[in-house]
Amino acid sequence: MKQARAIVITGNGTNCEMEAAHACRLGGFDEAVIAHIADILSGEIRLDDFHFLNLTGGFLDGDDLGSAKAQANRLKNATVNGSVEKLVEQFTRFINDGKLILGVCNGFQLMVKMGMLPALNGDYLDQTTTLTHNDCGRFQDRWCYLKCDTASPSVFTKGIEKGIYLPVRHGEGKFLCDSADTLEQIEARHLSVFKYSDAAYEIPTMEFPANPNGSTNAIAALCDPTGRLMGLMPHPEAFVHYTQHPRWTREQLPEEGDGLILYKNAAEYVRQNTI
């Protein structure tokens, strides 16, 4: 029986790879490999050998050209081990093979700047959205309530009835679209998977600090029309066990943290659809 394999890309400033790999294993993946981007560029590791790609949080290239922009340019133009194959071809093949990609924080920024999200027209290399500086003008490190759109096609959110509670830690998390039409399509097709909300997970909010960055329509997460690609600014890998909750010593909490369901759903999908 084939194993469900996840890959977590690290290097050039990421700092959440250990947590992401741990979340994949807890979620049910048989293997979670942490691979430096240099190993992929050298051809030593190929995305084709995996089922679930994790693009993690951090500060890619110091965010010197804007969050994840340098990495997006690199991945679009780099070749593998000096061959004629561009690395981006592995990404597009990975997507076309029906596999899963989850981008968290810096990884979400990378996905939108590469064009992998929202990919409304099926073109995963056409950028139509971005993530930019928080309205408050400074880095935010806090916990947020996220209302889930249960009509979303996202495979990661199966079984979430109202919402989840996750931490954010970013300076550039404000979601913007290139046009009103893009935003209208995102909302009409239920691609805005999570929105910053009140504590009851009922009403999306633009009020700071519940909405820590001023994102358009309070959008905290986005998926593509297939539901197999998703990005979010909050960190699901940072809440997979109750001891990661800020009030775990004062409240009776379930053993599993709210973020773990995303990885469990990913593992279930992989076993049912790609292996």
Catalytic positions, written as ranges: 105, 235, 237
Which are the contacts of 100, defined by CB distance < 8 A and separation ≥ 6?
51, 52, 53, 155, 156, 228, 229, 266, 269, 270
Q: Judge contact between 195 and 220, C-beta under 8 A.
A: yes
Partners of 166 in beta bridges: 144
Q: How far apart are CA 254 and CA 88, in angstroms?
A: 40
Q: How many CB atoms lie within 10 A of CB 42?
A: 12
Block residue for tokens 């990421």: 14
Triad 96, 97, 103: Cα angle to 5°: 75
Q: How many CB atoms lie within 10 A of CB 189?
A: 16
